Amino acid sequence: MHGYFVLRNYVPREKIEPIIRGTILEKFEFLPDDANILREKRLIDASQQENAPSATGTVPVDHAFNVKGVGVVVLGVVINGGVAKHAVMSALPGSKTAQVRSIQKHDEDFDSAVEGDRVGLALKNVEVEDVDRGTVLTTDPTVKSSKVLKARASLVKYWQTPIKAGMVLHIGHWMQFLNGKIEEATDEGDWRKPTLTLTLEKELAYRLGDKAVIMYLEGGKLRVAGTLELPLA
């Protein structure tokens, strides 16, 4: 993920840096508020994206609908790799596939899209209910889906009690938000880093090494418990 900060109204860089320190935004570049410089930077970025490899890619769906004369259209962001026109993508969870009929970015047609692009994809061979919010479209064979997870958790420092068997947590990953029951919770002396076995309400799509957010909706004011490394098994 990459991006830029363009500061206006005399806001100095020194005021922004402490706020973003330790976050993914720390890697964003600061650019002057100059239209020529910004235009040149975007042209360079676009050129690099067009030449970027796009053999595999993944798009979590956040909206799906029918468009008259077009068919099924989904909206989402390419979170890794790239997507090409006519590509056949798996729709996870499940076994259905969809072919990309066309790609739009900012209402303009393109033959491909790369990581970070927000896209509209017109699809063939699926219905709207096959690719609703939370569906993951991918050509990446490393993206899997499972209803049972065994993964290591890392709880935030403000979380006060150990995670125990029988608790119902919610897992957030990409556009998916699922509840799951803790079947087993073990640790090696540090209860803030337990290994959890969960059974989810339905399959969760993920890549090996992804991190999901753990939420406990009955936790009062603090509902975000920590993160989950996907998966160990």
The pLDDT tens digits for 109-166 are 999 999 889 999 999 999 999 999 999 999 999 899 999 999 999 998 888 888 899 9
**pLDDT at residue number 46:** 63
Q: Confirm whether 57-138 and 143-229 share one CATH topology.
A: yes
Is the predicted pLDDT of residue 214 greater than 60, yes or no?
A: yes
**Do the Cβ atoms of 179 and 150 come closer than 8 Å?**
no
From CA 19, how far away is CA 97, in angstroms rounded?
42
Residues of the chain above pLDDT 70, percent: 91
Report d(CA 154, CA 172) in Å as an integer: 14
Q: Coil, strand or helix: which one is 52?
A: coil
Contacts of 195 (CB under 8 A, 6+ apart): 150, 151, 152, 153, 185, 186, 187, 232
Q: pTM surpassing 0.85?
A: no
Fold of 57-138: Elongation Factor Tu (Ef-tu); domain 3 (2.40.30)
The pLDDT score that the predictor gives to residue 86 is: 92
Average pLDDT of the chain, as a whole number: 86
Tokens of 36: 């020529």
pLDDT digits (tens, 9 = 90+) for 77-97: 999 899 999 999 999 998 999
Domain extents in the chain: 4-50, 57-138, 143-229
Closest CA to 137 of 199, 63, 66: 63
**Strand (E) or helix (H) holding 42:** helix 35-50
Q: Smallest Cα–Cα separation from 3: which of 133, 130, 142, 117? A: 117
Lowest mean pLDDT segment, chosen from 51-55, 61-65, 69-73, 221-225: 51-55
The whole-number pLDDT of residue 49 equals 55
Domain boundaries 143-229, corresponding CATH code:
2.40.30.10
Phi, psi angle pair for 152, to nearest 5°: -90, 130
Residue 51 has pLDDT above 70, yes or no: no
Q: Is 158 exposed, middle or buried (0-12, 13-18, 19+ CB in 10 A)?
A: exposed
